[in-house]
Structure 1
Amino acid sequence: MKASRGEGFVLVQFFVFLASVLSVSCSLLVDPAELLLHCLRDYFPKPYPLSGIVYLRNSSSFQPVVQSYARNSRFMSLSNLNPSAVIVAKNEVHVKGTIICSKKISLEIRIRSGGHDSEGLSYVSKLYYAIANATKTYAFPAGVCTTMGAGGHFSGGGYGNLMRKYGLSVDNIIDAKIVNAKGEILDRKSMGEDLFWAIRGGGGASFGVILSWKIKLVLIPEQVTGFSVSKTLEQGATALVGKWQQVADAIDDDLFIRVQISTANGTQRGTKTVQVNFIALFLGQTRRLLSLMSESFPELGLQEKDCIEMSWVESVLFYSRMPNGTSIDFLLQRDLNTKVYFKRKSDFVKEPIPKEGLEAVWEKVIEAGDVWMSWNPFGGMMARVNESDTPFPHRAGIKFMVQYGASWLAQNATKTKLDQIEAIYDAMAPYVSKSPREAFLNYRDLDIGVNSDSKFFKAEVYGSKYFKNNFGRLVRVKAAVDPDNFFKNEQSIPTLSYN
């Protein structure tokens, strides 16, 4: 990784997940996984052994491997995760061979990177750690959740708290390597600009297996500043959110102020209220930040004691609510024993929500109890990139993006939690984008449409929400590079021939 030119190579670890049989002749007496194993033995040369790579259902390691990177407990039972085999690919040959052999015996594959897909359709933040150890003055504009995999995050249009200054991850990718449906390994030059365009925000899993990304690092100061200030309704949170809506997308590009909305205990015993947390990253030092806030958002009352100066990589830990001084080694940790169930949804807001609208939403937040929202301001670079430059179309005219979240620990609470998050989503309907009601691919949401039988008209329902006018171009790219629709899932890009 050469930070001196703001460029670097990132080799993304890939994980190929073989799902249930798509079409295997019923006359076969051999388990399709055994056929796969036989094919792989013939295909893989001797320098690439299968030991520790291929896991069949009769292996004692099968269940732990299947569940190891599944972040959402809603999809961790083997009744939901029902693959014929799991391939833990360690090099390009493993990926290429798996694709060729799966096609040969009619097995469907699913590709898993970090296991973060909110609806479980895909199944270690080493990138930031590597950058931080190489340079103090360069960074990469992507997410702040430390357990994401770069493969899916980048290809879905991943964003983070540098987006107002530098845009999305996909705005800063300069090359990639992908294995296509023919088992060919392609870079930007050999795949062509159409496919390179499609995988930068259109979801790589519809087009192939992403092996690696070449990314452009961005310049940052050695010291950045963060703050986190919380206010309840009783402390004037509604008026502060109203002002935030006016300034957050228009303030200096160096300043990103996220609003996180949740419930808290009220001032009277046994009551609940809404708490709003204003959490920010500023690409500069405290003195200039205070001057900007005094000029643009004095109502928040930000003070020097609220501000923490740190390196950029430490700000990732700050956004993850880790204690000040936590070692960046934390970025290499990954708890594989997750027991959390969760659901995510998304929206885009183009006009400020009026006071009466906020108050109506607050009522639903209090009723729901454990559902939260994260409002992320746009403007800056997000408004300067044309919506057709990448498949991610939510650019100029968007004030902020909404993430809805619910997490719980017990399976029997699932329906209640899903109903609660839906109630808040419904309450927000009058105030978000319409025709279509836009959505963010990386906050995967099967509620907005499912295409289990590869029909174009079904895919168009969710495709128009995720990609707007870019959906048509994505379909044309899909038809050109994967006409047999080998790479598919419940919300993948279809081909026109599947009607």
Structure 2
Amino acid sequence: MAAAFRALPVLAFCLLCLYTPTAFGSSSASSTDFLRCLSSSIPSNLFVTQSSPSFTSILVSSIKNPRFFTPSTVRPLCIVTPTNASDVQSTVLCGRRHGVRIRVRSGGHDYEGLSYRSVSPGEVFAVVDLANLRSVRVNSAQATAWVDSGATVGELYHAVAKGSNGRLAFPAGLCPTIGVGGHFSGGGFGLLQRKYGIAVDHVINAVLVDAGGRLLDKNAMGRDVFWAIRGGGGESFGIVLSWQVKLVPVPPKVTAFIVPVTVDHGAVDILTKWQVVAPALPDDVFVRVLLMGRTASFQGLYLGTCEALLPVMRSRFPELGMNRTHCREVSWVESVLYVYVGSGDLIPEGDILNRTIPLDGFYKATSDYVRQPISRDVWAEIFTWLAKPDPGLMILDPYGANIGGVPESATPFPHRAGVLYNIQYMNFWGAGDDEGPHIRWIRDLYAFMTPYVSKNPREAYFNYRDLDLGRNVVVGNVSSYEAGKVWGEKYFKGNYKRLALAKGKIDPEDYFRNEQSVPPLVPRR
């Protein structure tokens, strides 16, 4: 367990002695008592209420989708910004005692905003914002690191590269401003996935605050709960404060590349070939595709030099026409920024530490998995969707190699063997635009794709969360296991039931919940 948390179980025990559960409701008395409890339990500068002048600025600080920052948004009673584990424990215990639920955010990228808002107008809840818990502690000799949930993926990458002189990396997502806590909770795939798998494949320990306010490491939480937090969805099993991860080796220089191809120059044919070539390339080659308008942008990473990469691409994927002018030999951290920005310009390595994104783009997203190649004629029709009024974009990430070599049951993330690639659909619009046409575009394209993607269930990636896939139904103050199947089996396939059983062990009263949190399943005795 991380050193900063070693002495805290005693505090947890003392606090638990004071805990008496209260029924959850929306009474003003419960809210007032909860805030009084916070005032007596944590420093006053670590939480703000709706009446505070700084409430809005703190709420907005990590909202990445301003669609969920409007006058109609159901906002939290208060926001807690803990600086240590005991602050989180105290907040949970006050919430349990006075009937106020907790929602948790790390980076604010949640596509449906469920980490800081509620769909239900009557819900009274507080937000624990982990932005102040962002330490990264690298042990290069053992090739491990402890990373707090409030750190961004970019901060993790920067610390790992600096702490290992560029010799080590970590296989997680491409967007550097994603919070580690939410990202790891859903799986975490990115440029290194074909070589090393995904983020949760490399999590070896964690520190969790459960619904009783206890501080638990891997051994204390037990095998089933430790399995569940590694990809089973955030805010279902407790609040993960810190993760210990195993790092992976990378060369001092890698090759990043971007090859844009328009429809007029053969994008349809090249894309049709890509979907069978990309999952079968050597595991140190990753080639994704961004489709927007009439252009397919092939973006990738090779763990080696351009001189070694070009013969592979000319042999395995000559249709792409890749040449030396497309190559950028850079550090691994620079490769993340190069592909993420996608402009063709080299970005200073230090920019990966930038946590801020302006609130200027509303969006909607969803996802699919493809297990059989899609025909050329269908791709040609998909490009007509991308040319419609109010169009969005599609991002295709190849699987195969080592991401598929892990059994589906090894982690809650089940999208493994047999997957060719993942699709992310996105659409963006401005603050003054009518969102209707943009959301319809996504929903209509998603419906059009039905015959061509995975079935029974139609798979989806949890970190591209979409409430269109279903939402929880509360029965007797506990989320319904049966109703949760509608969305849960899309994200988790056959792992959904095991996740619900783990939830039943750690949080049977369903204290930690949102519209797509795992419901508890408690076996009858």
- Is this a same-fold pair by TM over 0.5? yes
Residue 496 of structure 1 aligns with an amino acid whose one-letter code is: L
1:477 paired residue number: 502
Contact 2:505 2:522 in 1 (8 A): no
Cα distance in 1 between the residues matched to 2:433 and 2:379: 31
Displacement of 1:369 in angstroms is: 4.4
Contact 1:223 1:309 in 2 (8 A): yes
Q: Answer yes or no: is 1:232 the counterpart of 2:262.
A: yes
Displacement of 1:411 in angstroms is: 4.8
Displacement of 1:336 in angstroms is: 5.4
Q: Answer yes or no: is 1:36 the counterpart of 2:24.
A: no
TM-score, scaled relative to structure 1? 0.90
1:83 paired residue number: 76
What are the superposed Cα offsets for residues 132-169 of structure 1, whole Å, 9 maximum, x if unpaired? 21121110000111210000001100110100000000
Contact 1:345 1:404 in 2 (8 A): yes
Cα distance in 1 between the residues matched to 2:234 and 2:472: 17
Of residues 242, 266, 280, the one that matches 2:272 is 242
Cα distance in 2 between the residues matched to 1:470 and 1:452: 20
2:88 paired residue number: 95
Of residues 168, 185, 208, the one that matches 1:138 is 168
Contact 1:230 1:276 in 2 (8 A): yes
Cα distance in 2 between the residues matched to 1:387 and 1:57: 44
2:115 paired residue number: 122
How many percent of aligned residue pairs carry the same amino acid?
Answer: 42
Cα distance in 1 between the residues matched to 2:189 and 2:203: 13
Displacement of 1:482 in angstroms is: 0.3
Residue 162 of structure 2 aligns with an amino acid whose one-letter code is: N
2:455 paired residue number: 434
1:23 paired residue number: 24
Q: Answer yes or no: is 1:460 the counterpart of 2:454.
A: no
Q: Quick one: structure 1 residues 133 and 22, their matched pair in 2 at CA, closer, same or farther if it must change by over 3 Å?
A: farther
Q: Answer yes or no: is 1:291 the counterpart of 2:291.
A: no
What are the superposed Cα offsets for residues 173-196 of structure 1, whole Å, 9 maximum, x if unpaired? 111001000000001011111111
2:520 paired residue number: 495
| 1:180-329 → structure 2 map (5 Å cutoff) | 180-263=210-293, 274-321=294-341, 324-329=345-350
2:200 paired residue number: 170
Cα distance in 1 between the residues matched to 2:4 and 2:460: 28
TM-score, scaled relative to structure 2? 0.85
Residue 65 of structure 1 aligns with an amino acid whose one-letter code is: I
Cα distance in 2 between the residues matched to 1:259 and 1:347: 15
> Aligned with 1:93: secondary structure?
helix
2:441 paired residue number: 420
Contact 2:252 2:331 in 1 (8 A): yes
Q: Answer yes or no: is 1:370 the counterpart of 2:430.
A: no
State the structure with bigger RCO (CA 8 A, min sep 6), 1 or 2. 1
Displacement of 1:324 in angstroms is: 3.7
5+ unaligned residues in a row in structure 1: which ranges? 1-7, 12-20, 264-273
Contact 1:158 1:170 in 2 (8 A): yes
Residue 493 of structure 2 aligns with an amino acid whose one-letter code is: K
| 1:387-426 → structure 2 map (5 Å cutoff) | 387-426=408-447
Displacement of 1:304 in angstroms is: 0.6
Of residues 342, 356, 365, the one that matches 1:335 is 356
Displacement of 1:23 in angstroms is: 3.1
5+ unaligned residues in a row in structure 2: which ranges? 6-21, 117-151
Displacement of 1:393 in angstroms is: 0.4
Displacement of 1:243 in angstroms is: 1.1
Q: Quick one: structure 1 residues 33 and 323, their matched pair in 2 at CA, closer, same or farther if it must change by over 3 Å?
A: farther
Cα distance in 2 between the residues matched to 1:324 and 1:455: 49
Cα distance in 1 between the residues matched to 2:510 and 2:276: 45
Residue 80 of structure 2 aligns with an amino acid whose one-letter code is: I
Cα distance in 2 between the residues matched to 1:445 and 1:69: 19
Cα distance in 1 between the residues matched to 2:174 and 2:198: 13
Contact 2:473 2:484 in 1 (8 A): no
RMSD after superposition: 2.1
Cα distance in 2 between the residues matched to 1:9 and 1:76: 37
What are the superposed Cα offsets for residues 195-243 of structure 1, whole Å, 9 maximum, x if unpaired? 1100000013100001000011101111100111111111001110111
Q: Quick one: structure 1 residues 104 and 165, their matched pair in 2 at CA, closer, same or farther if it must change by over 3 Å?
A: same
Cα distance in 1 between the residues matched to 2:395 and 2:448: 15
Cα distance in 2 between the residues matched to 1:334 and 1:78: 25
Cα distance in 1 between the residues matched to 2:232 and 2:349: 31
Displacement of 1:128 in angstroms is: 1.1
